[in-house]
Amino acid sequence: MHDTWSLIGALPSSIGTGVADSGDDVWTLVADSFWPLLWAGLTATIPLALASFALGLVIALGIALLRLSSNPVLSGIARFYISVIRGTPLLVQLYVIFYGLPSIGLVIDPWPAAIIAFSLNVGGYAAEIIRAAILSVPKGQWEAGHTVGFSQGQTLTRIVLPQAARVSVPPLSNTFISLVKDTSLASLILVTELFRRAQQIAAFTYEFMVIYLEAALIYWMLCLVLSAGQNALERRLDRYVAK
């Protein structure tokens, strides 16, 4: 087998090299490349999305609280951050962090650069989701917290945020599913996730249409599983809602 397979994972020798010249060869290629692509999705794409989403939620909560602040300076900072993130393409943000920062002496490896870019992006969008969820909690809940002696912070963490979390689950879940697909952009800064693995296999076999359609199918499968998990979580949270 050609040494190139060391870059994309060992696959059965039945794949061969060059363009498949029959339907049987195409189906063999699909079967032999399916597991390496799926494995890249499970071990690179999903972990990348999870790490970025978790960090992004922390950023989003902080920005949302700043946005709700009565201090005009803090609120203005949050507004500016959200405006920049939502007003610039994710690809540009990714390039600025990976290719732009080295020009000022900050060199970041591909994986950390991707996580930083995706986290900052998630933070900008999820901040507005969390802010809206917090505002959806009746003001009486704040008053109830103060009545039992809770401080502002205790009322927020013990009463308001748990209720806001249930409201924010659907839009945040959709944000995560979108992020899983957006991780394909990390291939442009040499992160070997699902799409980059597909690029490597396609470049080696010259079956670009077949391999890219297969990658699209695997992305779809992953998103279907995540959507099913989202629906299950929403049904579970609905049990605690008064009817």
22: helix, strand or coil: coil
Fill in the amino acid letter for 51: A
* pLDDT at position 8 over 70: no
- 């009746």: which residue's tokens? 138
* pLDDT at position 163 over 70: yes
The pLDDT score that the predictor gives to residue 23 is 58
The pLDDT score that the predictor gives to residue 7 is 43
pLDDT tens for residues 56-102?
Answer: 999 999 999 999 988 999 999 999 999 999 999 999 999 999 999 99
The pLDDT score that the predictor gives to residue 84 is 96
Percent of the chain residues past pLDDT 90, beyond the cut: 62
CA dist 146 and 127 (Å) reads: 25
Q: Which residue has the higher pLDDT, 13 or 121?
A: 121
The pLDDT score that the predictor gives to residue 57 is 96
In the predicted model, what is the mean pLDDT of the chain? 86
Query: Is there a contact between 214 and 198 (Cβ–Cβ < 8 Å)?
Result: yes
Which residues fall within 8 angstroms of residue 164, CB to CB, at 6 or more apart? Answer: 130, 133, 134, 136, 137
CB atoms within 10 A of CB 29: 22
- For the four alpha carbons of 64, 66, 72 and 76, in that order, the dihedral sign comes to negative
The pLDDT score that the predictor gives to residue 183 is 95
The pLDDT score that the predictor gives to residue 24 is 62
Helix (H) or strand (E) holding 160: none
* pLDDT at position 143 over 80: no
The pLDDT score that the predictor gives to residue 3 is 39
- 């499970």: which residue's tokens? 42
Q: What is the DSSP string of 171-232?
A: HHHHHHHHHHHHGGGGGGGT--SHHHHHHHHHHHH--HHHHHHHHHHHHHHHHHHHHHHHHH
The pLDDT score that the predictor gives to residue 103 is 93
Nearest C-alpha neighbor of 186 from the set 97, 86, 103: 97
* pLDDT at position 177 over 50: yes
* pLDDT at position 242 over 90: no
CATH topology of domain 42-238: MetI-like fold (1.10.3720)
Q: What pTM does this model have?
A: 0.85
Rounded average pLDDT over 169-185: 94
Break the chain into its structural domains and give their ranges: 42-238
2: helix, strand or coil: coil
CA dist 153 and 61 (Å) reads: 13
Rounded average pLDDT over 110-134: 95
Under DSSP, the state recorded for 243 is: -
